[in-house]
Amino acid sequence: MQDNTNNTLLTVAGLKTHFPVRGGLLSRTKAWVKAVDGVDLAVQRGKTLGLVGESGSGKTTVGRTLLRLIPQTGGKVVFDGRDVFSLTNSEMRVVRKRMQIIFQDPVGSLNPRMTVGNIVGEPLKVHSSMTRTERRTEVGRLLERVGLAAGYARRYPHEFSGGQRQRIGIARALAPKPDFIVCDEPVSALDVSIQAQILNLLSDLQDELGLSYLFIAHNLAVVEHFAHQVAVMYLGKIVEVADRDDLYNNPTHPYTKALLSAVPRPEPNPDRERIRLPGEVPSPINPPSGCAFYPRCPLTRQRAEELGSSERHTVVVDGQAAPVVRRCTIDVPTLKPTADDASHCHACLLQQD
């Protein structure tokens, strides 16, 4: 994946996050859930990187791990030239004010026992030397900036709608004046009309403040509207990354093609074919060897029909046997640029030949 170092704010290399599965009388580790298993990303200054994939692919874990909300198993995260995982607690506290998060659940992310003023003002209390009067003034300004009245600071979260609660979450994220924000599916729990308002607000804030976003979502239509670059994730790995227009117009990985074929369109095209993938996403506890997508991949099945028996392997999905390319079951694909565009990378062995 091409990395313009001068304009890159955040670089993620080989990120891994594994969770132990414990059992037995002594709660010993029996297995590992490989939620994130070698992710490479780069977020440019003032731009939005969309991270998409099915539920359970590891998107949220990536966002929380790079903020050190979840301990990493391996890999490296560099934020504005500093290795995040090597920072001490005091050093991380300085960096943390520049890296914030907007949570998916606008209800669960707000403390019901705190007023809105205390919720939004807490980052100011931790990361600034403002007096109580200065904090109160700044909280009012932040609330007005996200489309709420300054007087709402005296109310509690249960007095607001879902969209208003998400605006409160955005105000809280803006309080310490960050450079980078992880938007963890910030509109997925909202009505469609409210989604557009929140997306427009985030876009206006980006233009005004020069913010960089990692925008996590499973709705590809939303990402197409909002992101500058898009990375597609499957079972803990990035399978394709490209500029938004290039990825939506010229997808190369079979999984990306399947996702895009499922996006509803206002003007249905009778020539557009829906790609239906067999089976379910494999368990991250015991992922397939080689390419993790091969049991469901339509391309490897098509190519296997043209090969001899020595180059094929049989896989059973949904009770049906199907041939796949043996190489896909052995070799692990890595992100490589396409022949036409160095910024468009994919991890498909059959497309890289």
DSSP-assigned beta bridge partners for residue 16? 37, 74
Domain limit, last residue, from 207, 228, 249: 249
- Residue at 92 is within a domain: yes
Range of the domain at 131: 5-24+32-249
Q: Which helix (H) or strand (E) holds 33?
A: strand 28-44
- Residue at 328 is within a domain: yes
For the chain, 353 residues long, give each residue's pLDDT as a single digit of tens: 555 557 999 999 999 999 999 988 888 999 999 999 999 999 999 999 999 999 899 999 999 999 999 999 999 999 999 999 999 999 999 999 999 999 999 889 999 999 999 999 999 999 999 999 999 999 999 999 999 999 999 999 999 999 999 999 999 999 999 999 999 999 988 888 899 999 999 999 999 999 999 999 988 989 998 999 999 999 999 999 999 999 999 999 999 999 999 887 776 666 677 888 998 899 999 999 999 999 999 999 999 998 888 899 999 888 889 999 999 999 999 999 998 888 999 999 998 76
Residue 266: what pLDDT? Answer: 72
Domain limit, last residue, from 209, 233, 249: 249
239 and 309 part of one domain: no
- Residue at 262 is within a domain: no
pTM score? 0.92
223 and 336 part of one domain: no
245 and 334 part of one domain: no
- The total of other beta-carbon atoms located within 10 Å of residue 279's CB is 14
187 and 126 part of one domain: yes
CATH number at residue 156: 3.40.50.300
242 and 136 part of one domain: yes
- Residue at 343 is within a domain: yes
225 and 298 part of one domain: no
Whole-number Å distance between alpha carbons of 80 and 99: 11
- Residue at 318 is within a domain: yes
237 and 303 part of one domain: no
- Residue at 42 is within a domain: yes
- Residue at 158 is within a domain: yes
219 and 293 part of one domain: no
Counting Cβ atoms within 10 Å, is residue 240 exposed (0-12), middle (13-18) or buried (19+)?
buried
62 and 135 part of one domain: yes
DSSP annotation of 179:
S
Q: Which helix (H) or strand (E) holds 137?
A: helix 132-145
Whole-number Å distance between alpha carbons of 135 and 141: 10
- Residue at 270 is within a domain: no
If one counts the domains in the chain, the total is 2
15 and 129 part of one domain: yes
Residue 5: what pLDDT? Answer: 58
DSSP annotation of 86:
G
Residue 1: what pLDDT? Answer: 52
Name the strands in the sheet holding 345-346, side by side, starting at the edge strand that comes first in the sequence: 99-102, 180-184, 212-217, 48-52, 229-234, 237-243, 345-346, 336-337
Whether the Cβ atoms of residue 79 and residue 99 lie closer than 8 Å to each other: yes
165 and 44 part of one domain: yes
b vs e for 133-169, b when ≥16 Cβ sit within 10 Å of the residue's Cβ? eebbebbbebbebbebeeebbebbbeebeebbbbbbb
